[in-house]
A = this chain, B = another copy of it.
Amino acid sequence: MAKVGQFFSGHGGWIVQANHYSDPVSGRFFMRHCIRADSLPFDADGLKAAFAPIADEFEMDWQLSDSGSPKKVILMASKQSHCLVDLLHRWHSGELECDIPCVISNHDDLRSLVEWHGIPYFHVPVDKDNKAEHFRRVTAIVEEHKADTIVLARYMQILPPEICEQYVGQVINIHHSFLPSFVGAKPYHQAAERGVKLIGATCHYVTQELDAGPIIDQDVIRISHNDTVEDMVRLGKDVEKSVLARGVRSHLEDRVLLHGNKTIVF
């Protein structure tokens, strides 16, 4: 920590924010520094070169992000619009700093909405028999647009293992339950069945094991015996979209560090 602080202050760097965390179990140390680019005598490549010896000395896993080159985020949706509308509005009003090269959906319902925002819309249908073909086309679109993040905004399809493996820590999903409760399909029905008094949503990175990836953010809302499954669906939408938006924002600002199957969120 001292060496890193010294490196930046030695070069006149203005540290806007610095976060640290030392995991007491694994002994690993995590940190994130946010430095004003114009306070340093380097460009991004110059900084990388200058910092590399320190990183090597301490055997750091590290990366440098330039907030001037926003991430490329592809949104995937199905028929439900609440999470997609929410993310698009935040992007449109300047709240989420990223590029959205396109939206991919297995239905055509949300095309007009997306195109109103000036964003291309790819309709890639899927059914039981063409899943492999569907995901080949999806992967092709993602690669073509050089996306570094995929957000499953209620996409409702399970990604094949090869995509999970290829995009570790880059695919964000919103699950409509307070995980690890109610993994899998129809979590609100499961919640109604169990008679819980709070329902929730979980934003997590996608891994090969269904709904078991590292959790970025979660939240809940109170319900009562009076609320039917339909009420839960409606009330849950508000939690889903706010949790997903918070998780995506943290990811875009490089505040989320993976630590095994957990996250450090600075």
Contacts and interface: CB of A to CB of B under 8 A. Distances in A.
Interface of A: 1-3, 5-6, 8-10, 15-18, 20-22, 24, 81-82, 85, 89, 93, 95, 112-113, 116, 178-182, 194-198, 200, 214-220, 224-226, 228, 234, 237-238, 242, 259, 261-265
Contact of A225 (B9, B194, B237, B263): B263
Contacts of A18: 1, 20
Chain multiplicity (copies):
4
Closest 3 CB pairs of A and B: A195-B262, A2-B9, A2-B5
Nearest to A14: B22
23 contacts: A1-B5, A1-B9, A5-B6, A15-B20, A24-B228, A81-B89, A82-B89, A95-B234, A178-B178, A178-B198, A178-B220, A179-B181, A179-B194, A180-B182, A180-B194, A194-B261, A195-B263, A197-B216, A197-B265, A198-B218, A224-B265, A225-B259, A242-B242
